[in-house]
Amino acid sequence: MTATAQYAIPGMIILTVLFFRLRSVGKARRLRLERLWILPTLYAAVVGFVFWNAPPHGMTWLWCVVALGVGAGLGWWRGRLMRVAVDPETHELSQTVSPAALLFIVALIVIRSASRAMAIEMAGPGHAGLMAATDILMAFALGFVAFQRVEIFIRARRMLAEARAKRP
């Protein structure tokens, strides 16, 4: 595969996904608190299986913990960018993706792509550097996904309790 195709194919996929995501920016979607745990749990299971099957070595563990923490902080921040609303009559929750939240994801994709390119370049003939980079990115993504959902859950539950308390 040529170098151009190597970047063009993922770029086209990302642009297609972003096109469909941009269409939903600003539109409210139903938010179900009882389902927010599913994606982080599935991803934690995948990361746990990968780390159990091929555990990181040496300092990679430390970098994975740091990446998990950075991902958690950025996930919390992205969760704060999501608009959550409660219908005062029905108490139905909805969430709206803000343009800032979508731009945040685009920035993360760019950073991840640059990191991947650097990891491939640094890996040289072996693949240990690439494996470490993958482990670190997986830990980052786990923190990001989990804490985005945790922040939304806490805020939505608080808003729902306030709406129910105002009801006569």
The pLDDT of residue 65 is 95
Give residue 159's domain range: 3-166
Q: Looking at the chain, list the stretches that DSSP marks H as alpha helix, in order from N- to C-terminal side.
A: 3-24, 38-53, 59-81, 99-123, 128-166
Cross-strand pairs, 29? 95
Q: Which two tokens stand for residue 163?
A: 């709406």
- pLDDT tens sequence across 54-73: 888 889 999 999 999 999 99
Query: What is the reported pTM?
Result: 0.73
Q: Which two tokens stand for residue 134?
A: 């993958």
82 DSSP 8-state letter: S
- pLDDT tens sequence across 120-166: 666 555 556 767 877 888 899 899 989 999 999 999 999 999 988 88
Looking at the structure of the chain, the number of domains it has is: 1
- pLDDT tens sequence across 72-128: 999 999 899 888 999 888 889 988 876 766 676 666 666 666 666 666 666 555 556
Question: In the sheet that 28-30 helps form, which strands lie side by side, from edge to edge?
Answer: 28-30, 93-96, 83-86
Q: 3-class SS at 35?
A: helix
